[in-house]
A and B are shown apart, each in its own frame.
Chain A
Amino acid sequence: MRFILIDKIVSLQSGMEIKAVKNVSLAEEYLADHFPTFPVLPGVLLLEGLIESASWLVREAENFAHSMILLSEARNVKYKSFLAPGGRIEYTVEARTIEENVSSFIGFGVSDDERIVEAKFALRHFNLADENPSMAAVDAKVIENMKKRWNILSSG
């Protein structure tokens, strides 16, 4: 199973807002456990979709300067409804601030005109070489791989 929780970037206003969509399919293995007889996308993966969307907003705005973009905090993440296989969710994430190593966002996800999730969260971005210069090649590799993923997500 691949850990990528958005399928396509639908729109992007540099440094400001991003919209992305995710299809939910029974082919996604964890649905068998979550839950048997009542498959729904796990709440944390809805949050992951918001985080990934925000991360792309950062990567694009900073021109892929950093390899590592991680969640530093999430607050008041509310799950308002369920998202089942066959469904599709559109995430909208607005940046409140994007600075060199930190950024903050407010985001929500809607499916079939129904709000599924909303969250306020902050990310931190850095290179491994910041602490350990010998890791510069690893940073470069991660960035190269993320650029490839960006091409897939933002094509067409």
Chain B
Amino acid sequence: MAMSRDQIFGEVQEVLVNALGVDDDEVTAESTLMGDLGAESIDFLDIVFRLEKTFEMKIPREELFPAESLMNSSEFVSNGKLTATGLAELKNKMPYIELGAFEKDPDINKLGDLFTVNTIVSYVDSKLNAA
């Protein structure tokens, strides 16, 4: 099903409003899921289930929200920062994510800030338009 990025954003916004109990205007493209919108573990699962139904696709939770497995592995995290292997793994799992300043200071406490509404929109976009 072909959808424009704007259409995808509209649907994602609705999913987040319902899953997180926030208002429409709080859900902007740059809003961070954890920091701005208050999402936590159980909400990520709720969001995945709702996205699956909305976009009629299977979404392995690991694919959309790899943070948890990254954060729990000593191979990827050392001294509170992602290791080079960890960074590579993150880029591998989420090719559409913009790392920006995080790449220079991969503090795991800041990992949550990477997950914005845009991250979800980009993910859905890439999956919907995959060959």
Classify A-B as touching or not with yes or no (CB < 8 A). yes
Which of A9-17, A74-82, A122-130, A135-143 binds B?
A: A74-82
Give chain B interface residues in 18-63, CB to chain A under 8 Å. Answer: 19-21, 40, 42-43
Interface size on A, residues (CB 8 A): 6
User: Residue A19 at the B interface, CB < 8 A?
Assistant: no
> Across the interface, which residues of A come within 8 angstroms of B20, CB to CB?
76
Nearest A residue to B41, CB-CB? A80
Q: Tell me if A120 counts as interface (CB < 8 A to partner B).
A: yes
A-side contacts of B19, CB under 8 Å = 76
Q: How far is the CB of B14 from chain A (nearest CB, A)?
A: 15
- Are B21 and A76 in contact, with the CB atoms below 8 A? yes
Size class of B's contact patch? under 10
Interface contact A80-B21, CB-CB below 8 Å = no
- CB < 8 Å A-B pair total: 10
Q: Per-position contact with A for B111-123: 1 when CB-CB < 8 Å, else 0?
A: 0000000000000
Q: Can you name the residue of chain A whose Cβ is closest to the Cβ of B20?
A: A76
**Residue of B19, B21, B40, B42 with highest tally of chain A CB at under 10 A:** B21
| CB neighbours of A78 from chain B (8 A) | 40, 42-43
B46 to nearest A CB, angstroms? 9
A53-73 to B contact mask, C-beta < 8 Å, 1/0: 000000000000000000000
Residue on A with the closest CB to B21? Answer: A76
Q: Are A120 and B21 in contact (CB under 8 A)?
A: yes
Chain B residue with the shortest CB-CB distance to A119: B21
In whole angstroms, how far apart are the Cα atoms of A120 and B21 in the complex?
A: 8
* Closest partner residue, chain A, to B43 (CB atom): A78
Query: Inside 8 A of B42's CB, which chain A residues have their CB?
Result: 78-79
Given contact pairs A76-B19, A79-B42, a sample of 8 additional A-B residue pairs in the complex whose CB atoms are under 8 Å apart:
A75-B21, A76-B20, A76-B21, A78-B40, A78-B42, A78-B43, A80-B40, A120-B21
User: Would you give 10 A-B contacts (Cβ < 8 Å), ordered by A?
Assistant: A75-B21, A76-B19, A76-B20, A76-B21, A78-B40, A78-B42, A78-B43, A79-B42, A80-B40, A120-B21
